[in-house]
Structure 1
Amino acid sequence: MENLTAVVRVSCTVFSVLMRVMLAVMFAIFIALVITRYFFSYSPSWSEEVSRFLLVWISMLGAAVLVVYQDHFALHMLVQKLSPKMKLVHSLVVQMVILIVCAVVFYYGIFFAFDARDVFASGSGLSMFWPKLSIPVGMGLMIFYVLVSIVDIIRLLGGAEQSIVPPQTLFMDSTFRQTEGEATTSQQEGRST
């Protein structure tokens, strides 16, 4: 299990760094676009397309990393009322549904990307294969991370003491999940109104 933890840690680190680099490139393109537009009255035709393609890749890689932490935006009101064991069962069911959806999108995403090999973006001249490839790549990564999450949940249901998933704070500054203190405060505020 230590090997799986190491793979998750290294892959999340690589994707986090890669997303930061892509974001920095997007920022540089936007700054260059503003400078060329307002000082030279010139807007490179490729700048908007490349930025959009980078944003798609950032979104798909970020979504994959969120899957391993089960941290996509969700409603947690009802789940918070479950017992710890039932929360794990709920997580297992949700992960199974996500696995099925990701597998279907992955399958069709491969055809979607390869069908666009001969289609080229008008401004940048890039093959549309590259931005569309983000779909099967992102879904493939999500499938891997969902499987890791399922293994982790099954281990925890079986009585394992510790999660095999490295701490989320290594890769992200925030979470969509409420902390226990926030949940208690929200419940008290709901009762007082």
Structure 2
Amino acid sequence: MRLILVLEKTSNLFNKVSETICGLFLVVVFFTLFFQVIARSFLGFNFPWAEELSRYLMVWVAMLGASILVKSKELISVDFFESKWTGKWDRYRKLLFTTIMLIILCIMIYEGFFQAIHGRKVFLASLKGSMFLPYMAVPVGFTIMFFHYLVEFSHNITRKNI
């Protein structure tokens, strides 16, 4: 029970941090693109880094946003068969689904870190940095999703009836 409480608190913390970062990144993207349009349309010049920065911040927003949706159980799903399962079979279905998701997320986290490490050798055109940070959006987002699914898995195991 204590482990579940720690997992829940970690999941909630990750969710709050994700929401804050997503909001901040969306504001940065908005103002970056707003000033880019103003500069290009009225001042006759542009910021070569604006499009690249916005693109990679939106990747972070997408990955962190997906983890937020996993936490709130609002991520898109096919629920056609959910009403067909009852009682313990529904519990088994949820356990199976969550187990499959945890396995897939482990693979994606591993591959994401592998790609991010290799991304250190690839450089951004206008921001003069490596692709490590943009590539890290994938393993970070999937790691947060992993914690959310781990909490759900632990709840499904400890509950008698769902």
TM-score norm. by structure 2 comes to 0.88
CA distance in 2, matches of 1:9, 1:144: 10
| Aligned pair partner of 2:147 in 144, 148, 159 | 144
For 1:34, the equivalent position in structure 2 comes to 37
CA distance in 2, matches of 1:66, 1:88: 21
Alignment-mate amino acid for residue 64 of structure 2: L
More helix by share: 2
TM-score norm. by structure 1 comes to 0.75
Gaps of 5+ in 1: 161-193
Q: Note closer, same or farther for the CA distance 1:97–1:69 as it changes in structure 2 (3 Å cut).
A: farther
Alignment-mate amino acid for residue 92 of structure 1: L
Query: Do 1:68 and 1:148's aligned partners in 2 also have CA atoms closer than 8 Å?
Result: no
CA distance in 1, matches of 2:13, 2:128: 33
The CA deviation string for residues 156-176 of structure 1, in whole angstroms up to 9 with x for no partner, is 2x358xxxxxxxxxxxxxxxx
| Aligned pair partner of 1:17 in 10, 20, 38 | 20
- Are 1:132 and 2:130 an aligned pair? no
RMSD, aligned α-carbons: 1.8
Kindly tell me the number of residue pairs found equivalent between the two proteins.
159
For 1:118, the equivalent position in structure 2 comes to 121
Alignment-mate amino acid for residue 72 of structure 1: L
Gaps of 5+ in 2: none
* Correspondence 1:54-69 to 2 at 5 A: 54-69=57-72
- Are 1:91 and 2:94 an aligned pair? yes
